[in-house]
Structure 1
Amino acid sequence: MVREASGSRDGSPRLLREINDRAAIEAMLRRGALTRAELEAAIGLSKPATVSLLARLEKAGMVRRGELRGGNRGPAAQMWSVNGDLAHVAGVSLVPDEVDVVIADITGEIRVQHRSALPSGAGAPEAFAEAVVEAAGRVGLHSDQLAKVVVGAQGGVDPATGHLGFAPHLPGWEGFDVPGRLREALGTDVLVDNDVNLVALVEMTTGRARDVRDFVLVWLGDGLGAAVVIDRVLHRGATGGAGEIDWIRVPDRARQDTGVDRTGDRLGRLLSYRSINKLARAHGIKARNAVAAVQAARAGGADGRAFLTDLARRIATGVAGVVSVLDPELVLLTAEIAQVGGPELTDLVTAELHRLVVPRTPVEPAQCTDDAVRAGALQVALGLAREQVFGLPVTAVGVRSVPHEEQSRPGAGVQQGTEEEAR
């Protein structure tokens, strides 16, 4: 129950109005359009206080009236929602040859999605900016009207210099302050983060890691990477290179010989699409590419099983060092190889990992979708914009640090009695 309160000596009526306003905004952002009665139930205020709150927020342009909802009895109820036009943000996925942009209003409603090819080399940042400008223009905005632009890239941004490191696969993006260059080109605030970090963020909020405090997400795609989450905060490292397991040198524990130096090779090279396909061919599995080879192996009998086991040995060898140091609650596998490998590959990686390390860390497939990088970028952008516009708190990764039970508890964070007094 929300405690009835009276005014205090520290200017609390205004403070409590702000607390209640934020609680109402947050309820509508989380649940969508609400009637007055539904908002009362969500935040725990009385009817007069809620009426006053809605009038105040409508006058300030924070909320707006929607359509009427009819009922079986009595008059139709007025719907209320957050004014989405208060701010717009962009979430962007950057890969070597393409930029994928999504623009949403502050409620999270998608306004436009836009993909554009990128040139390789010095002109890539300019082409990137043009793609964002074009996407914004499709909804009648200039790029400087975007409250936040968050970019997921295959590399790590050094917080001291803004340089994008660990990204030789992104020619034209190294050697300069990437966020600074993009801010100048777009005229707005730009944040650049590692793409796998953003996928981990999606897993934390809507995927398998929703109730996990410490986990490692391993990206097994055309390029290798990992994200490390400790106490529900992404660990980026001193230079932005945390999770860059592509570059560690490990022995090749695959039983089938593919000509790899057995004393050690770069993990990213051992798990490249070319190397995976070569390993498949050594096991008698011929396919057009690595993804097809893994898919074929699941129905390939003994040869397929032997190939998947060798592939699991390579994956587990790379993951073992991370697990030994961090002892996480969970390891998640994601991207194309993990998706097509399915539970068979995940189970084999688990078995091989447990042969190498003491912790019995479970290994599971991630739930994220193909556009998870862009979705994570958008989620961070929305969190930062909502902090700026509404004063809603965000954590270091753009997610409110509020337990699930508190988020769903009616009246959480709301002060009741002084709403009428503060009016």
Structure 2
Amino acid sequence: MAREAGAARDGSPRLLRAINDRAAIEAMLRRGALTRAELEAAIGLSKPATVALLARLEKAGMVRRGKLRGGNRGPAAQMWSVNGALAHVAGVSLTPDEVDIVIADITGEIRVEHRSALPSGNDAPLAFATAMTEAAARAELRPDQLAKVVIGSPGAVNPATGHLGFAPHLPGWEGFDLPGRLRAELGTDVIVDNDVNLVALVEMTAGRAQQVRDFVLVWLSDGLGAAVVIDRVLHRGVTGGAGEIDWMRAPDRARLDTGVDRTGSRLGGLLSYRSINKLARAHGLKARNGAAAVQAAHAAGAAGQAFLADLARRVATGVAGVVSVLDPELVLLTAEIAQVGGRQFADLVAAELHRLVVPRTPVEPAECTERAVRAGALQVALGLAREQVFGLPATAVGIRSDPEVQLEEAR
């Protein structure tokens, strides 16, 4: 809660005004447009102090007057809100086939949504910059007018080199300083983060992990990944590769033999769509991809249940090592297979997991599934921009925008 300048003896009036200003901005960002009386109640200032605060912020261009709100009695009340034009940011989901972009003002109001196909190969970064330029133009902006651009991508960016690793399915994006290259192309601050990490951030702020301090989020699609959150901070690892469980070697504990080396195979291979389809066929199920196989299994009676149990054994075998080391409060399953499998599949994974490890860690389907990577990227971009513009603490779980700071931390 804010404090009035005249009510405290342990700080200068200028410092206390700055604290009160930030508290007011934060309240309006969190709750939207407020009347003067509502702002008073939210930050605990008197009427004269709040009037002076609003006048000060309006003069500085930080807030603006909105519509009048009519009431049953008395005059209409003036609404106040943060000036969204102060800064704009972009959140981006990058996949091997396309780029999905959202541009919002600093209040979080979405201005533009833009999707574009991406070619593979050396032209991919240039095509990405072109897509960003097109999206910005739709918002009547240039890319260099965006305060922050945050990109969620498969793989992990090494903070010491800027190189993208663990992403062979993104040809044309490896072997160079990726954030540095995109900063040069766009003329603004660009941050590239792992897509699964960004989904974990969304789950922590708006999904099932809101009240959880330690959890693991497992991405089950045609591509495997995980995010590890410890004490509500993403654990990234020295090279940015924490959670890349795709590359672990694991035995195949499925009951039906599909020709996989039982002594150990790459976990990402065991859980690829191709491998899942092969397992489904062994159980008498036919589908076009892994997610469709899980969907078909739900309607296939006993044969379907046997397939789901075999698939759950594969997932649990990979998750067991992570759970044994971290002992988290929760394991969340996300992406297409988890979404189609739902609670039933999560329960099967939990049952198999509890046969392998001592902790009785709950396993649940993730709650935030609609464009979660893009949503996480936007959330990080907004947090960093608000830190830059308003001095509000960024709560983006350790993501830094300054490349020099990232390099120093990596050392």
The TM-score range, normalised by the shorter chain, is over 0.9
| Structure 1 pair 347–8 and aligned structure 2 pair: CA distance change class (3 A) | closer
For the residue of structure 2 that corresponds to 1:310, the secondary structure is helix
Q: Which residue of 1 is the match for residue 405 of structure 2?
A: none
Q: Counterparts of 1:37-186 in structure 2 under 5 Å?
A: 37-186=37-186
Post-superposition Cα deviations, 1:51-76, rounded to whole Å, max 9, x if no partner, equal 00000000000000000000000000
Q: Which residue of 1 is the match for residue 220 of structure 2?
A: 220
- Give RMSD over aligned pairs: 1.4
Structure 2, gaps ≥5 residues long: 400-411
For the residue of structure 2 that corresponds to 1:80, the secondary structure is strand
Post-superposition Cα deviations, 1:180-213, rounded to whole Å, max 9, x if no partner, equal 0000000000000000000000000000000000
For the residue of structure 2 that corresponds to 1:202, the secondary structure is helix
CA contact (8 A) 1:92 1:100 kept: yes
Q: How many Å separate the matches in 2 of 1:34 and 1:398? A: 31
CA contact (8 A) 1:65 1:79 kept: yes
CA contact (8 A) 1:386 1:392 kept: yes
Q: How many Å separate the matches in 1 of 2:12 and 2:235? A: 37
CA contact (8 A) 1:150 1:190 kept: yes
Q: Does 1:298 align with 2:292?
A: no
Q: Counterparts of 1:201-240 in structure 2 under 5 Å?
A: 201-240=201-240
> What is the CA distance between 1:97 and its match in structure 2?
1.2
For the residue of structure 2 that corresponds to 1:305, the secondary structure is helix
> What is the CA distance between 1:165 and its match in structure 2?
0.4
Aligned AA (2:292): A
> What is the CA distance between 1:8 and its match in structure 2?
7.0
Q: How many Å separate the matches in 2 of 1:188 and 1:48? A: 41
> What is the CA distance between 1:370 and its match in structure 2?
2.9
Q: How many Å separate the matches in 2 of 1:273 and 1:306? A: 18
Q: Which residue of 2 is the match for residue 343 of structure 1?
A: 343
Aligned AA (1:276): I
Structure 1's consecutive aligned runs of 4 or more residues displaced over 3 angstroms after TM superposition are 1-11
- In the superposition, the TM-score normalised over structure 1's length comes to 0.92
Q: How many Å separate the matches in 2 of 1:284 and 1:383? A: 49
Aligned AA (2:205): T
Q: Which residue of 1 is the match for residue 19 of structure 2?
A: 19
Post-superposition Cα deviations, 1:314-337, rounded to whole Å, max 9, x if no partner, equal 000000000000000000000000
- Report % sequence identity: 85
> What is the CA distance between 1:4 and its match in structure 2?
6.5
CA contact (8 A) 2:214 2:232 kept: yes
CA contact (8 A) 2:234 2:398 kept: no
Q: How many Å separate the matches in 2 of 1:5 and 1:132? A: 45
CA contact (8 A) 2:4 2:45 kept: no
Aligned AA (2:155): G
| Structure 1 pair 141–93 and aligned structure 2 pair: CA distance change class (3 A) | same
> Greater relative contact order: 1 or 2 (C-alpha under 8 angstroms, separation 6 or more)?
1
Q: How many Å separate the matches in 1 of 2:97 and 2:319? A: 29
CA contact (8 A) 2:332 2:366 kept: yes
CA contact (8 A) 1:7 1:13 kept: no
- In the superposition, the TM-score normalised over structure 2's length comes to 0.95
| Structure 1 pair 149–4 and aligned structure 2 pair: CA distance change class (3 A) | closer
CA contact (8 A) 1:379 1:398 kept: no
Structure 1, gaps ≥5 residues long: 400-423
| Structure 1 pair 161–4 and aligned structure 2 pair: CA distance change class (3 A) | closer
CA contact (8 A) 1:384 1:398 kept: no
